[in-house]
Structure 1
Amino acid sequence: MEAVLWIVRTGSPWRDLPAMFGNWSTAFRRFRDWREADIFKRIFDVLSEEPDMEYAMVDATIVKVHRHGQGAKGGLRARPLVAQKAA
């Protein structure tokens, strides 16, 4: 599995697979067999059945608003026409 992930990350051809993953042709044959047996689809289906949304949450302490978006000094410069007529 790590050999396949390395190939996907780097975009390298199978022949450039580092020796720590073993023989490149053996890794490719195993990848081809798994692809034909839909092993990767079954892995994906199992992992996506019940997603863990822990990392999809946005915490307000890490999201900063620009100072102009906080109502900083200066406020709204353009005044509505209604306010001018009433004055």
Structure 2
Amino acid sequence: MRGELTDRAWAAIEPLLPVSGRGRRWRDHRQVLNAILWRLRTGAPWRDLPDRYGPWKTAHGRLRLWTADGTWQRILDWVIAKDDSVCRCAS
């Protein structure tokens, strides 16, 4: 879908994500990450998250957890580094 992670981007980001969650299996990381990206892109309230992304509380909670444990920063650092490398090639 438009605005969601490509297979290539997912392959690069997946190793940055935690392997397990609090003793139980987590909802699919890619689905949750696409939910977070949808929310950031649209600015809509979490409660308006489309059903295809799963429960809004899951996405919101995962973003809070990933922010607290540094995972979100690792993702952002990767995105920034990738963007910088593309920009350098274009100049």
Q: Which of the five TM-score ranges fits, normalised by the shorter chain?
A: 0.5 to 0.7
Q: Which consecutive unaligned segments of at least 5 residues does structure 1 have?
A: 58-87
Which has the larger helix fraction? 2
Alignment of 1:1-87 (within 5 A): 1-47=33-79, 48=81, 51-52=85-86, 53-54=88-89, 56-57=90-91
Structure 1's consecutive aligned runs of 4 or more residues displaced over 3 angstroms after TM superposition are none
| Structure 1 vs Structure 2 CA RMSD | 1.9
Larger RCO: 1 or 2 (CA < 8 Å, sep 6+): 2
Equivalent-residue separation in structure 2 for 1:46 and 1:27 (angstroms): 20
Structure showing greater radius of gyration is 1
TM-score, normalised to structure 2's length? 0.53
Q: Which consecutive unaligned segments of at least 5 residues does structure 2 have?
A: 1-32
Task: Name the count of aligned residue pairs.
Answer: 56
Taking every aligned residue pair, what percent have the same amino acid on both sides? Answer: 41
Equivalent-residue separation in structure 2 for 1:27 and 1:45 (angstroms): 20
